[in-house]
C-alpha cells in the first residue's frame, strides 16, 4: 500500500521505457496467456494461480488500487483515478459488494474531489473511513514532480498530506493526524485499537503508531530510509512494512538530497517486520528491485506482497508469499504486467488486489476479488 497509485503507473511506464531500448525480447514470452498477434490478453484467472478461485473483476476503467475491506467484509474502500467518474487525480471511493460491481454502477465518492488523496481504511464500526489528503494545501490536485534531468524515478512526498476521517456521505468529521510535513499511509489493527502511519515529522520517513482517536503518538522506526505501507498482524502484535534503507555514502546522499526536495526513489525496497513497539526488527526479503505492498496472511505466519524481482524487464509485478522467517517464497499470481495491493478479508476467506489483467490492451489497472484457498 501507499503513496498515490498513479506513481506506480508512471513507474511501470518509466521502467518499460528505460529497458525497452536495451532488450528486444518479448517480456511476455514465458506466459502462454500473453498477448499474441496484437490481440490483448483476456485472462482473468491463470491456471497456475492455485490459491485463487472465483476471481471477479470489479472495475473496468482507469486506475484503481489500494482496496481494503470493511470490518464486516461487506464493502471495500479504495483510491482511483477514473476519467468517467470525473476524477483528475487519485480520489477515495467506497463500494458495497451487494451492489454487484463498478462496471456499470459508479461507487460513492468520499473525498469530495478536493486535493490528492491516498491510503483509505475503514474505521471500527464501518460507518467512517480515514484517508490522507492534500486538501489543506488547496482544492486542486498538486502537481506531479517534473521529469528529472538525471532520469531518476521519484515519488512526491507532499507536505500537505494530513489524515482525515469522513463518514459514508463523504463529510469530514475529524482531522485525525495533522501538522507540518507528510502524514499518510495509515492503517488500523484488526482489534480496532491502534493506527500505524508514516510521517516525516522527525526529518526522516518513519513509522508511527497512535490510539484510534489519534492520541498517544509513538515513533516506531528510527533508521535512515523510507519506512512505509505498514499493516498490523492479525493479532495486532506485529507490523509488516516496506523499506528503502540506504547504506553506502552515495546512496545516503541521494536519499537525503531527494528527501530535502520532498521526494523519494522507490525502485529498491525490501519487506521488514517488527513488533508493534518497534522491537525485534527483521528484514524478511532480500530479493532486490522493488518489494512492497505487504500484508499478513490470516494465520499471521506468512506475508503476501508484490515484487518485480523475477521480472526480466523490471515492470512485471506479481504477488508472492513468504514465511515470516524469510523462508518458503511462493509465487501467487502470474499476470504478465502488474499485480499488487493484496488484502485479505478479516475472515480470511477472500483476497482483493489490483491487476492489469484483462484490460483490453489498455493501461487500465482494475480491482479483482477472489476466494482464497490455502
Average pLDDT per run of 10 along the chain, which is 374 residues long?
49 39 31 49 94 97 97 98 94 97 95 96 98 96 88 90 98 95 98 98 98 98 97 98 96 95 93 98 96 98 97 87 98 96 98 96 95 98
Q: For all residues of the chain together, what is the average pLDDT?
A: 90
CB of 323 closer than 8 Å to CB of 27: no
**Residue 44 belongs to some domain of the structure:** no
**Residue 326 belongs to some domain of the structure:** yes
d(CA 325, CA 282) in angstroms, rounded, equals 9
| Phi/psi of residue 84, nearest 5 degrees | -65, -20
**Residue 348 belongs to some domain of the structure:** yes
d(CA 223, CA 365) in angstroms, rounded, equals 34
What DSSP letter does each residue of 57-76 carry, written as one string?
E---SSEEEEEEE-TTSSEE
Cβ-proximal residues to 280 (8 Å cutoff; 6+ apart), any chain: 273, 274
**Residue 84 belongs to some domain of the structure:** yes
Q: CA 258 → CA 254, 255, 265, distances in Å?
A: 6, 5, 8
Residue 365's domain spans which residues? 6-22+49-372
Q: How many CB atoms lie within 10 A of CB 47?
A: 9
CB of 43 closer than 8 Å to CB of 357: yes
**Residue 331 belongs to some domain of the structure:** yes
Could you give the number of structural domains in the chain?
1
**Residue 206 belongs to some domain of the structure:** yes
Kindly state the percentage of the chain with pLDDT values over 90. 83
d(CA 281, CA 243) in angstroms, rounded, equals 12
DSSP structure class, residue 338: B
> At 232, is the secondary structure helix, strand, or coil?
strand
Task: Convert the pLDDT of each residue in 274-294 to its tens digit.
Answer: 999 999 999 999 999 999 999
**Residue 153 belongs to some domain of the structure:** yes
**Residue 35 belongs to some domain of the structure:** no
pTM of the model: 0.91
CATH of the domain at 288: 2.120.10.30
Paired residues of 7 in beta bridges: none
Polymer length in residues for the chain:
374
Amino acid at each position: 500500500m501507499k503513496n498515490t497509485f498513479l506513481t506506480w503507473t508512471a513507474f511501470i511506464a518509466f521502467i518499460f521505457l528505460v529497458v525497452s531500448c536495451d532488450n528486444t525480447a518479448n517480456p511476455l514470452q514465458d506466459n502462454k496467456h500473453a498477448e499474441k498477434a496484437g490481440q490483448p490478453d483476456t485472462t482473468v484467472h491463470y491456471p497456475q494461480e492455485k490459491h485463487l478461485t472465483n476471481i471477479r473483476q470489479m472495475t473496468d476503467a482507469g486506475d484503481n488500487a489500494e482496496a481494503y475491506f470493511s470490518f464486516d467484509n461487506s464493502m471495500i474502500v479504495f483510491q482511483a483515478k477514473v476519467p468517467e467518474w470525473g476524477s483528475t487525480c487519485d480520489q477515495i471511493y467506497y463500494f458495497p459488494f451487494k451492489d454487484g460491481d463498478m462496471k456499470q454502477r459508479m461507487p460513492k465518492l468520499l473525498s469530495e474531489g478536493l486535493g490528492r488523496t491516498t491510503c483509505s481504511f475503514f474505521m471500527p464500526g464501518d460507518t467512517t473511513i480515514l484517508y490522507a489528503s492534500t486538501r489543506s494545501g488547496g482544492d486542486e490536485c498538486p502537481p506531479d514532480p517534473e521529469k528529472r534531468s538525471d532520469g531518476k524515478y521519484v515519488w512526491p512526498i507532499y507536505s500537505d498530506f494530513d489524515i482525515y476521517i469522513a463518514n459514508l456521505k463523504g463529510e469530514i468529521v475529524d482531522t485525525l493526524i495533522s501538522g507540518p510535513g507528510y502524514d499518510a499511509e495509515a492503517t488500523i489493527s484488526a482489534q480496532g485499537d491502534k493506527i500505524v502511519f508514516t510521517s516525516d515529522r522527525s526529518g526522516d520517513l518513519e513509522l508511527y503508531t497512535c490510539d484510534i482517536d489519534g492520541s498517544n503518538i509513538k515513533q516506531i522506526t528510527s533508521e535512515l530510509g523510507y519506512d512505509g505501507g505498514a499493516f498490523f498482524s492479525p493479532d495486532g502484535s506485529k507490523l509488516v512494512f516496506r523499506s528503502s534503507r540506504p547504506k553506502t555514502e552515495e546512496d545516503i546522499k541521494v536519499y537525503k538530497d531527494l528527501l530535502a526536495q520532498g521526494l523519494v526513489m522507490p525502485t529498491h525496497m525490501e519487506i521488514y517486520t517488527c513488533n508493534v513497539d518497534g522491537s525485534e526488527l527483521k528484514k524478511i526479503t532480500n530479493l532486490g528491485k522493488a518489494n512492497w505492498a505487504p500484508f499478513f496472511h490470516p494465520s499471521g505466519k506468512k506475508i503476501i506482497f508484490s515484487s518485480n524481482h523475477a521480472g526480466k524487464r523490471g515492470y512485471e509485478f506479481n504477488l508472492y508469499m513468504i514465511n515470516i522467517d524469510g523462508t518458503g517464497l511462493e509465487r501467487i499470481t502470474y499476470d504478465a504486467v502488474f499485480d499488487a495491493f493484496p488484502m485479505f478479508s478479516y475472515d480470511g476467506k477472500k483476497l482483493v488486489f489490483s491487476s492489469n489483467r484483462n484490460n483490453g490492451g489498455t493501461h487500465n489497472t482494475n480491482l479483482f476479488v477472489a476466494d482464497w484457498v490455502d
